[in-house]
Every structure is written in C-alpha cells, then in structure tokens.
Amino acid sequence: MKPDETWAAHPVGIAPGSYARPSIELTGPGVNDLVRWVAEMLADSIHDGDTRADAWSDYVIAVGNLNAADDDTRPDREADAADAWWALEAELPNALRMSLVDACAVGQLLDRTARNAVRQGVRGRAA
C-alpha cells in the first residue's frame, strides 16, 4: 500500500524577526477528513437540536459579542468566548485519522520539514 502523496508540511514563523512561535503546518487528507467530520457533526447537531448544537450556538454568540465589545467590556467578553470554546471543544473530535502507511509517511514528512526549518532558523539567526 502506497502512502497518499497529497500530504504537505510547511514551516510557519521560522524567519528571523517573526513574532509567531515556530511551528509546522500539516495539510492533507486526514486534516480534510477531520474538518469535514466536524462540520457534518455540527450540522447534524443543529438539525437534531442536541447539546453540541447548544455549545456551538453559545460559542458563535460569544465570539459575536467579543467582536462587538468595547475596551471596557472586552475582558469579560474574552472570558465568555474562552468559556464557550472550552464547552464546545469538549463536544468535538480532535484527532486525525490516517492509515498506518500514511502515518509513517507523514511522520517522515514532518521530521524532514522540521529539521529543514531548524536549519533555516539557525542560518537566519547567524546572518
């Protein structure tokens, strides 16, 4: 069995002067599967009117309130959005599914990408 060739990994925040924490972004069929699974789960929950739908609605409202907050109310709205996310997150899947063959290929891809990013970061700092 051959691994899926559509997996990709890209360094993020590696460049000197970047304020982002250096990391690797992974894309591929397992990520796409997770996103679709979550979207379908939320759509089914909204249709069924279950607790996941309530958590999703609470999160959407909390984010909307945060976006509309002024400087005085922003800390409270940030706390509301964090609480709503915590409740929603508990209702959602958070793992990628992939074949063992793909898992080996993705592991090698991540390792190679991370090693190259570290080398670039070290070279960039020395320059």
Q: pTM score, two decimals? A: 0.72
- pLDDT > 50? residue 96: yes
**Which stretches of the chain are assigned E, i.e. beta strand?**
8-12, 23-27
In this structure, is residue 65 part of a structural domain?
A: yes
Confirm if 25 and 10 have CB atoms less than 8 A apart. yes
Q: 75 is in which domain, residue-wise?
A: 42-91
Q: Give the span between the Cα atoms of 109 and 6, in whole angstroms.
A: 11
In this structure, is residue 54 part of a structural domain?
A: yes
In this structure, is residue 107 part of a structural domain?
A: no
In this structure, is residue 126 part of a structural domain?
A: no
> Mean pLDDT lowest for which of 23-37, 60-74, 76-90?
23-37
In this structure, is residue 18 part of a structural domain?
A: no
